[in-house]
């Protein structure tokens, strides 16, 4: 499932392409993906201009001149494609939005959704999310306080969107590896200096992943060299049995609460 760096990459690239552009058409292939009848959705969107593309946690928010917001969550299997009618992918899109000669295709939205909401509804939907891991106001001290509210294992707290918004399975394992801490380590057992290390590792890993374009496999548009640039940089996630890039020990693939967990027992404690 796309996490903060993947959605931030989409946000950056779409902001350059959509902001200030008017919506010229909408095509709905799957009505369950949206939150109202297709005709009402089209009525509100067509002619409406995108003012800004924002991100909160794993959501992308398309702000519209009318004040409404298109709230996107890709969940598992969702991805976006920006192109023309000629270079579209050989896949069905659940929703397509036209902006002049270009189209934004929303693919794989079976579990994911694209909801058209008022500003207040959008705020309400996002109100329970924890802080952004890269928020400049988040300090090592406030991070420690957030984690201490949880008594379970690190992985559980890191992927809990009410604790922090935007981290999922992959980056939780990656930042634990970076910090030299086992993802199944119990939070109460962490020493203060380990908590501080985890905070700095979280920011370092997420910043690096954003910089490299995250791990989405499909480019956003033809010639896109940013999206997916982090794919080969995951050090433990989905690398069970491979040697740890830091110490050479074989990476363990484990399961916790029906989630995959990857770590190295050679250099994580
Ligand atoms: Zn190792």
pLDDT at 98: 97
Task: Decide if 18 is inside a domain.
Answer: yes
Known active-site residue 260: no
Give the pLDDT mean for 178-193. Answer: 97
pLDDT at 234: 96
**How many Å lie between the centroid of ligand 1 and the Cα of residue 243?**
8
On the 0-12 / 13-18 / 19+ scale of CB atoms within 10 A, 202 is buried
**How many Å lie between the centroid of ligand 1 and the Cα of residue 253?**
13
Judge if 114 and 159 occupy the same domain: no
**How many Å lie between the centroid of ligand 1 and the Cα of residue 192?**
22
Taking only the tens place, the pLDDT of each residue in 5-46 is 999 999 999 999 999 999 999 999 999 999 999 999 999 999
Q: Which of 102, 126, 150 is the last residue of a domain?
A: 126
Known active-site residue 131: no
For residues 55 and 219, give the distance between their C-alpha atoms in angstroms, rounded to a whole number: 19
Kindly indicate the confidence band of residue 115, based on its pLDDT and cuts at 50, 70 and 90.
very high
Q: Which domain holds residue 109?
A: 4-126
List the catalytic residue out of 30, 88, 119, 259: 259
Question: C-alpha 22: how far from its chain's center?
Answer: 26
5 phi and psi, to 5 degrees?
-65, -35
Give the pLDDT mean for 111-121. Answer: 97
Judge if 122 and 229 occupy the same domain: no
Q: For the chain, how many residues are written?
A: 269
Give the pLDDT mean for 208-218. Answer: 97
Known active-site residue 132: no
Q: What is the CATH number of the domain that holds 192?
A: 1.10.8.50
Domain count, the chain: 2
Judge if 59 and 109 occupy the same domain: yes
**How many Å lie between the centroid of ligand 1 and the Cα of residue 181?**
10
- List, in sequence order, every beta strand (DSSP E) within 155-232: none
Task: Decide if 269 is inside a domain.
Answer: no
pLDDT at 106: 98
Kindly indicate the confidence band of residue 168, based on its pLDDT and cuts at 50, 70 and 90.
very high
For residues 66 and 118, give the distance between their C-alpha atoms in angstroms, rounded to a whole number: 9
Taking only the tens place, the pLDDT of each residue in 132-143 is 999 999 999 999
Task: Decide if 241 is inside a domain.
Answer: yes
Q: What is the CATH number of the domain that holds 121?
A: 3.20.190.10
Judge if 117 and 148 occupy the same domain: no
Judge if 8 and 122 occupy the same domain: yes
List the catalytic residue out of 3, 6, 132, 174: 3
Judge if 51 and 75 occupy the same domain: yes
**How many Å lie between the centroid of ligand 1 and the Cα of residue 268?**
7
List the catalytic residue out of 58, 63, 212, 239: 58
**How many Å lie between the centroid of ligand 1 and the Cα of residue 185?**
16
Known active-site residue 239: no
Judge if 167 and 88 occupy the same domain: no
Kindly indicate the confidence band of residue 100, based on its pLDDT and cuts at 50, 70 and 90.
very high
Q: List the structure tokens of 58.
A: 């794993």
Share of the chain above pLDDT 90, in %: 97
- Asked if residues 250 and 241 have their Cβ atoms less than 8 Å apart, the reply is yes
Give the pLDDT mean for 154-181. Answer: 98
**How many Å lie between the centroid of ligand 1 and the Cα of residue 263?**
8
């Amino acid at each position: 499932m796309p996490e903060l760096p993947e959605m931030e990459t989409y946000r950056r690239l779409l902001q350059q392409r959509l902001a200030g552009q008017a919506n010229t058409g909408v095509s709905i292939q799957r009505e369950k993906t949206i939150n109202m009848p297709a005709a009402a959705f089209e009525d509100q969107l067509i002619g409406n201009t995108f003012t800004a593309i924002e991100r909160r946690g794993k959501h992308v928010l398309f702000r519209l001149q009318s004040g409404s917001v298109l709230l996107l969550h890709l969940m598992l299997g969702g991805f976006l494609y920006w192109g023309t009618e000629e270079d579209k992918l050989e896949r069905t899109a659940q929703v397509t939005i036209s902006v002049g000669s270009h189209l934004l295709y929303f693919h794989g939205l079976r579990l994911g959704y694209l909801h058209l909401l008022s500003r207040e509804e959008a705020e309400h939907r996002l109100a329970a999310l924890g802080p952004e891991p890269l928020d400049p106001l988040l300090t090592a001290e406030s991070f420690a306080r957030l984690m201490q509210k949880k008594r379970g294992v690190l992985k559980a707290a890191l992927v809990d969107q009410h604790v922090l918004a935007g981290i999922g399975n992959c980056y939780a394992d990656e930042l634990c590896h970076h910090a030299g801490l086992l993802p199944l380590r119990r939070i109460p057992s962490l020493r203060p200096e380990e908590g501080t290390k985890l905070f700095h590792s979280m920011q370092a890993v997420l910043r690096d992943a954003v910089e490299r374009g995250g791990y989405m496999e499909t480019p956003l548009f033809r010639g896109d060299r940013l999206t997916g640039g982090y794919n080969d940089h995951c050090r433990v996630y989905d690398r069970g049995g491979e040697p740890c890039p830091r110490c050479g020990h074989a990476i363990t693939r484990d399961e916790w609460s029906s989630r995959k967990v990857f770590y190295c027992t050679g250099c994580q404690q």
